[in-house]
Each structure stands twice: as C-alpha cells, then as structure tokens.
Structure 1
Amino acid sequence: MKPEYELVSFHIIEKFNTSSLVTWTYPSISDALKQKLQQTCLLDKAHKSDFIYHRLDKQWIYIWECFKEQKCYALALVTKSFNPNKYRQFGSHLCSIYEINYKPIELVKVFLGAFTNGSYKVQQNGTQCNVYFNESKMIQNETFEELVNAFDVEIILIFNALLLKKRIFVYHTDFSSLLKHIEVMSRLIDVKLRDPNEYLFPCVRNINFELKGKTFFIAGVVDKNINIKPDAYDLFVNLQNSSIKISPNSKDIFQMTKWHKEIALLLTNAENTEKMTDLYTKTSNLLSNLKSFAEASPTEEGQSMVTLDALRAKKLPAAMENFLFNLAVAENIMML
C-alpha cells in the first residue's frame, strides 16, 4: 500500500475542571491548532458527539470525544484532506488502543505505521491484523436518504448551486447533524470536479472574516442568532425545518431545465442503487458537451473558450442557454 502522507498529526485533549487542555501531541502542534482544539473539544458532556470534524486553514481536524467514568478525553487527528469516511474507522481504532492502558506512546506506533505504509495493525479476536485505509469517498446512504426525504426534488437546488460554484449556507442547531448533511451535499458533485478542500467550511461563526472574498462555498451555521443577509448567499438550506431559500438576487441562476428535472428524478429514485455513479456520469457528459462548444481564443493564449455567439448558435431553450452560460463561467471557459 502507498504511504498515507495526508496524515499530519494526532493529539489527546483532556478535561480539567472547566478547561480542555491538550495533554499529548505527535509530532507537533501550532498555537492556532492548540487554541482550536481547546475551544472545540469536550465542551458539553450532555451534548457529546462521538465523531465531529473542523477545518483550520487547509487542514482538517477529525475529533472523537469519549466520556468514560475512568477518563474523559478527546482524540484529534489532523490531515491534509477532507474524507470523513476514510478516517472515521482509523480514529475509532486509535481510541480503542488508547483505552487499553491510556498510554499515548502506543498510538505513535500505529500512526507511524499508517503514515509510512498506508496500513496499521490492530488486535481482532486475539489476532493481530493489518487494516488498510478505505479510499472510498462515497456518501453514507442513510444520511443521503434523510436529505432526499427532507427536500425531495428540491435537492436539485443544492446540486445546481455546487455545480455553478455558488454561495451556500447550511443551518442546523445540532452540530453532528449539520456535519453529516454537509458531507453528503459535498458528494453530490464528483470531487474531481469540485474539491471540498477548496469550498467546504463545516462551521463558521464570523462570516465576514472566515468567508471574506469567497464566491464559492458551503458554510455550516449552528448559531440561530447569526444574521445572514440575502446578498451574502445564493442558497440558504435550513435543515432544521427542511426548507431552501434562494436569494432574490440569484433567482435567474436557478432556472430549471429538462436536464435538471432528469437529475432530480435520478436523485429521488429510491430503486436506483447506482444513482451516484449515474449522477457523476451525467455531469461529466454535460461538461464534455459544453466544452465541445469552445473555440480557440486569440486573447487567452490560445485557450479554448465558449462564446455567447457559439451558445446562441445551438438554438437551445432560453433556460438551458442561461444554465450553460453560468456553467461555462463557473468552469472559467466563458468568453465575457
């Protein structure tokens, strides 16, 4: 197996009176990361989460919180990539090993094995076994169906906003539920087309600071008192009451076409077990078709660009022409 170079570090956080403190780190920790961990881990035993994740700049922090009678601690794994499915099992194994005798040095051996070999050793039924990282980036079916049940065909609005690289806020007062659903949303588009590392912000508290200058994002929000004005988003998804609001300034972007209706039916078809594969294929085919409209541009160093004249020459329905125009802009292949 290939080395797991995306791993950065792991940390143990423990509760002392009312404070959470980082008590073990390997191989190192920055002041910013230490502050983040101490501010977000072990805050409330009554509302504990077994598995959560945060983002700090370009790194992802996966956290497992364990409230046990003999010890209350959290384990944080820092990586360079967003892939909760890939690291969920690894962190659970680290917690199980740690709870045998609460010696962090045992975790170093496992971490180094994963870092150098892409696999690690665990005890299963008294036998030592090699466990390999699961590279799957597919969504969890149960949470996906929850999303479909909540929004039905309106799920196409979320898909469309991602495809066109728009600004999406997602609200829920329960952080774990918020994380589960935005993870599913991020998988509606193949990661080869829209990399979550570029646009996903699991929980924002200071919108003006954390999202300053960004024109494409999914941003999670848990604070019910936060004030988000309509000109700050294109789509507002309220998981709490299963509603989606389109900003008045963005309504033209969300005109539905025959292609969108096909995608909506695909996503809501409970009998299709290959819907995500089919969705990725249809999206890829659409982009290939759009790029076939492009012509070499003398003003863009010979780069093939789509022109408005080329789009109009196809004599497409107005809604489809508008959609493809916005998609070409999102792909940076539209001659403006």
Structure 2
Amino acid sequence: MIYPYVLFGSPEMSEMKSHSHFVAGFRDASVENRPDLYDLFVNLSTNEIVVATHAKEVFSMGKLHKDLATYIVQCAEDETKSNQVLIKTVALKVKELLNNLKGLSDTVDESGQQVITLEQLRERKMAPATENFLFNLAAAEGMLKTS
C-alpha cells in the first residue's frame, strides 16, 4: 500500500486507487489540486501539510502527527540528502512507527498476523488524536481486529 513514486495515468496509479488506504509519492505539484487522491498531502517543496476538507476531523493533529511531519520536513530540507536517501529515511521512520504500533498488542489472528483492537488502543489512554491516528494506521495496514 506504499507507492513511493507515482506518475499520473500510470498503471500503478490505477492499482493504488483500488485500495481504500495508501501512501503515495508524486513529483507533480498538481496533485495538491486533486483532493480526491489524498486525505493528507505533504508538500516537501514548500514544507506544508494540507488536509483535504473531507478528512479534517479524522486528521486533527496530535503530538505524534506533528513530530512525524516535522521529521519528514527536516529530512526534506537537508540538501545533502538525495531523493533516494530521503525515501529510505522516511521508510525507516514508517517502519519504526509500525513496529511501535505492533508493540501495543500481543494479539495474533488465526492466520498468525499481529492485530490490535480499538479496546487495546483505548486501554493506553492516549490523546484522542493519537488514538484515532493509530486506529486508522492499524486499519490501513490490515492490523485492525474488529471483533
């Protein structure tokens, strides 16, 4: 569900849009004018984060969001890093975030995949924005157990 570099009209774009959740990287700035393609748009060139109107409530930012966004922007500002290094750096940060999410639960489903429930997230008594973010991340990664 991660597409590091997508071109408009490419077969990869069609595949990407077939998922309910995805992360995609574009170099075409006009993507910002296509809120049908994103809930959250991170513009590394201008150091801006845009939340699509339809996703404002879901993406109210908490400390976790702000820290992650700041980290990505700081990496992008480092002119000594190539695009390849930037992509790898962000991928490592995402992997770290997913590992931390997995650490919140020791529940495994029948297929052996680690899963988490909303109740397990609520037991952690996190800020609502953080809980919502992790819930949506778990759903996007197929880690959410609903029953």
| TM-score bracket, shorter-length normalisation | 0.5 to 0.7
Q: Structure 2 CA distance, aligned partners of 1:284 and 1:261?
A: 17
For residue 287 of structure 1, what is the amino acid of its counterpart? L
Alignment of 1:1-336 (within 5 A): 194=2, 196=4, 200-204=5-9, 213-215=18-20, 216=22, 217-218=24-25, 228=34, 230-235=35-40, 245-266=50-71, 267-268=73-74, 281-294=92-105, 295-297=107-109, 300-336=110-146
Assess, with a 3 A threshold, how the Cα gap between structure 1 residues 232 and 253 changes in structure 2: closer, same or farther.
Answer: same
Query: TM-score normalized by structure 2?
Result: 0.61
For residue 97 of structure 2, what is the amino acid of its counterpart? L
| Larger relative contact order (Cα-Cα within 8 Å, sequence gap ≥ 6) | 2
For residue 108 of structure 2, what is the amino acid of its counterpart? A
Larger Rg: 1
1:239 deviation in Å? Answer: 9.0
Mind listing any 5+ residue stretches in structure 1 that lack a counterpart?
1-164, 166-193
Is the Cα–Cα contact under 8 Å of residues 3 and 25 in structure 2 kept in the other structure?
Answer: no
Q: Structure 1 CA distance, aligned partners of 2:126 and 2:118?
A: 12
Q: Structure 1 CA distance, aligned partners of 2:43 and 2:91?
A: 25
For residue 258 of structure 1, what is the amino acid of its counterpart? K
SS for the counterpart of 2:57 is helix
- Considering fraction of residues, name the structure with more helix: 2
- Considering fraction of residues, name the structure with more strand: 1
1:313 deviation in Å? Answer: 0.7
Q: Structure 1 CA distance, aligned partners of 2:37 and 2:89?
A: 33
Assess, with a 3 A threshold, how the Cα gap between structure 1 residues 292 and 281 changes in structure 2: closer, same or farther.
Answer: same
**C-alpha RMSD over aligned residues:** 4.3
Is the Cα–Cα contact under 8 Å of residues 263 and 279 in structure 1 kept in the other structure?
Answer: no
Mind listing any 5+ residue stretches in structure 2 that lack a counterpart?
none
Assess, with a 3 A threshold, how the Cα gap between structure 1 residues 242 and 327 changes in structure 2: closer, same or farther.
Answer: closer
Assess, with a 3 A threshold, how the Cα gap between structure 1 residues 211 and 311 changes in structure 2: closer, same or farther.
Answer: closer
Assess, with a 3 A threshold, how the Cα gap between structure 1 residues 262 and 278 changes in structure 2: closer, same or farther.
Answer: farther
Deviations 1:290-319 (A, max 9, x none): 11223023xx43432101111111111111
Is the Cα–Cα contact under 8 Å of residues 204 and 210 in structure 1 kept in the other structure?
Answer: no
1:287 deviation in Å? Answer: 1.6
Q: Structure 2 CA distance, aligned partners of 1:257 and 1:306?
A: 20
Deviations 1:66-116 (A, max 9, x none): xxxxxxxxxxxxxxxxxxxxxxxxxxxxxxxxxxxxxxxxxxxxxxxxxxx
Deviations 1:26-75 (A, max 9, x none): xxxxxxxxxxxxxxxxxxxxxxxxxxxxxxxxxxxxxxxxxxxxxxxxxx
Assess, with a 3 A threshold, how the Cα gap between structure 1 residues 204 and 245 changes in structure 2: closer, same or farther.
Answer: farther
